[in-house]
Amino acid sequence: MQASTSTMPDEGRQILSSHFDDLEQQHLSSNLGMWFFLGSEVMFFSGLIVSYAVYRGLSPVAFELASRHMDLWVGFFNTLVLLTSSLTMAFAVRCSQVRDNRGIVRYLIATAVLGSAFLGVKATEYKKEIDHHLFPGPHFVVPGHDAEEMLEASKGPDGQVNHEVYRHNLGRFQMMFVFYFFMTGVHAFHMIVGIAAVLIFAVLAKIRWFSGYGHTQIEALGLYWHFVDVVWVFLYPLLYLIG
């Protein structure tokens, strides 16, 4: 119990909350809590992903044309940036295990920088799309050549355009952007929260606020960061690659 922790050298001491029996229990609780929270987050995204999949399956033409407006290579670059940030986060967790405080600070800052770079790139993508009136809502404009292709795809076997199908396709073209902005927006929100947490943890590590180098806490943060990363690994192929 508490007595056993205070005999450890001060450098490596973890703070044990009074309602836990030992550090192992505390560590297990923290980890399990984060895993279940992430399970909850998976359900949050899966509602969107399922809806996306259904609409996409119903209107493949409109969705494919719309997803051609995504820049494959910018997305690829961003994926690389994010995966690298997961690597630096893993290093930070490793440093907390071997009690290398300077390493923690260094790698957390690297993680935050990479995360911010991702958001910066995403912001330029958003700007480009908004400039081209691809943000859903009253100002949305379907680009001319896409409209022509959809008109072509709306022709029945007799060569006549089915206007109902055509209007439907135009709507679904916008729908793709609804999903794109909402899903990447929610993801970006998770990134912002993550970056803020990473920076706070870096400061706390710097001032040695975690007496045991915050192994438990930084591991939980690491799980969160990897999760946000994994979400992007699903979003990138869904939004950019298919088609």
H helices of 70-208, where?
72-97, 101-131, 144-153, 163-206
Exactly one of 48, 200, 230, 238 binds other proteins (CB under 8 A); that residue is: 48
Question: Which C-beta is closer to other proteins: that of 7 or that of 17?
Answer: 17
Question: Which C-beta is closer to other proteins: that of 32 or that of 233?
Answer: 32
CA pair distance 87, 170, nearest whole angstrom: 41
Say whether residue 243 binds other proteins (CB under 8 A).
no
Exactly one of 4, 8, 12, 39 binds other proteins (CB under 8 A); that residue is: 39
Say whether residue 18 binds other proteins (CB under 8 A).
yes
Radius of gyration of the chain (CA): 23
Residue 125-144 contact track with other proteins, rule CB under 8 A, x = bound: -----------xxx------
Question: Which C-beta is closer to other proteins: that of 45 or that of 91?
Answer: 45
Q: Which residues pair with 155 in a beta bridge?
A: 161
Residue 55-84 contact track with other proteins, rule CB under 8 A, x = bound: x---x--x----------------------
AA identity, residue 88: T
Q: Which of the ranges 69-77, 146-154, 161-169, 204-212 carries the binding residues for other proteins, by CB under 8 A?
A: 161-169
Any idea what DSSP says for residue 161?
B
Residue 178-197 contact track with other proteins, rule CB under 8 A, x = bound: x---x---------------
Q: What is the dihedral of CA 238, 117, 201, 30, to 10 degrees?
A: 10
Contact between 108 and 201 under an 8 Å Cβ cutoff? The reply is yes
User: Of 227, 224, 218, 223, nearest to 104 (Cα)?
Assistant: 218
